[in-house]
Structure 1
């Protein structure tokens, strides 16, 4: 079995009136190559006639954002011409590549009516060879994401990318990044085989789980050693898990604000290109 190195507690990092917990990076962990960043927004309930999400137009270069909408919605727009409103159970996969400007806000309907909101946003690095690819955006609603019902229905796996026990994910990423969200009923069990060379990304969103003999709970990120292939999971109560794995890129990581590159010179170039307008011009 894969052994656990340590567990990291997500840290409170509110953004305006948006409840936010940052699971990566924190004071105890910088990144889990190639997984760079995770913000857990909510859960919270917005009143009617609210301002919604605060993420107006901003640039990115050199990595990918994967957004999981558990409750509420996100209205996406970017300078690549992509627009969508994704509701509960859906995902957004945006490859920033050489650079674009995007906004992630709540839909007019959500701002008018309010309601529950809970969203995860994960940043995944791109290898050096792909950092300057053309930007790409994929927005999928819940029915478009393949699922696997396991352990007599006590475990439901939503395959976002990669291959999970024979179920192919909805997205084919540039790098071999495998991502899934998994819903457990109390007592649900799941056994998985993940190559020992892969970095595992294991974040408990809700509830309590036992993984390879150790208990973990909501808003905890489990960091594993690279010493085994097997994961044995059991839900101690109803739970939701964000699970991913990938072979680490083992490349230099230089990040500054919205850009993630391999060198400081590339970061400076990203700012110059953004200021020169090569990321596109924002149009309301």
Structure 2
């Protein structure tokens, strides 16, 4: 039933820790999900730097930012300035190229507070890697949700169990958020060959502990399922779990913030960023992250 268990790797991004789950040496992608970070959980003191990610570029992907706690201010080169709060979704498609920053609003910074959430990168199909960049902000009403048997479920992106979220996805995928009490259960969407099924599926335990196939898994672990498995996930502790999957798109190269099916395209993106040919966000244009050496 279980193909692989991935342990997230903690990384310090300058005073703020993330757990890096994908890409992994044994599992580069799950469906089109090519990158997955858990941000925090963290508690920022009043006046601390909090989230302070300077403008940086992307190509060939869509980013999905989803919070459990806290707030992040998004600014991009298309001119969008948008705070994201828990339960809402920032969906940014880089396509041929976009630049954005992610920061804590100065007022929120002065107050301090909690930060906890997920950031995913979704690779674009090869024929759509160069589409025009776009940005979509979605409120809770764009994400089907349910609360039954004490289990809260929200479809953050894609389609599952006959429902479809408002995210403008470019390939088949699903991304679900579960809040489980002790003893609460859910099932993954079906595997390939079944109605509404997906070829690749996994869960990530953002908090708590769950049992699958008589095995226990804890915070910071991703469980990748076999294609035709029918897993039932049961909470051993109150748990926050993200369930995700989709159809594979083929090999993708990742270098820094660039994703592409072509190494040459990544080389071009490097040159464009280094030469200043990518536009900075108009409301956050005084600094940027240099190209890594």
TM-score (norm 1): 0.91
Residue 233 of structure 2: aligned partner? 233
Q: Is the 8 A contact 1:62 1:125 kept in 2?
A: yes
Q: Output the CA distance in 1 between the equivalents of 2:13 and 2:280.
A: 26
Contact 1:99 1:279 in 2 (8 A): yes
Q: Given that residues 86 and 140 in structure 1 are in contact (C-alpha distance below 8 angstroms), is that contact kept between their aligned partners in structure 2? A: no
What residue is the counterpart of 1:50 in the other structure?
A: 48
Contact 2:159–2:173 (8 Å) recurs in 1: no
* Equivalence for 1:270: 269
Instruction: Please name the residue that 2:18 is paired with.
Output: 20
1:189 aligns with 2:207: no
- What is the CA distance between 1:177 and its match in structure 2? 1.8
Cα RMSD (Å):
1.9
Residue of structure 1 equivalent to 2:247: 247
Q: Deviations over 1:227-259 (max 9, x none)?
A: 33x22121111111111110111x231221111
**Further displaced range: 90-99 or 27-36:** 27-36
* Structure 2 counterparts to residues 96-245 of structure 1, below 5 A: 96-142=94-140, 144-150=142-148, 152=149, 154-196=150-192, 198-228=199-229, 230-245=230-245
- Partners of 2:160 and 2:263 in 1: CA distance: 37
Using the size of structure 2 for normalisation, the TM-score is: 0.88
Cα distance in 2 for residues equivalent to 1:254 and 1:64? 15
CA contact (8 A) 2:188 2:201 kept: no
Uncovered stretches (5+) of structure 2, i.e. residues with no partner: 193-197, 285-293
Superimposed CA distance per residue, residues 163-195 of structure 1 (whole angstroms, 9 cap, x where no aligned partner): 333332131311112111111111112234422
d(CA) in 2 for partners of 1:173, 1:211: 29
**Alignment partners' CA distance in 2, 1:163 and 1:25:** 23
Unaligned residue ranges in structure 1 (runs of 5+): none
Alpha-carbon offset, residue 84 of structure 1: 0.4
CA contact (8 A) 1:194 1:245 kept: no
Per-residue deviation, 1:52: 2.0
Q: Distance in 2 between matches of 1:16 and 1:27?
A: 24
Deviation at 1:275, TM superposition (A): 4.3
Alignment: residue pair count? 278
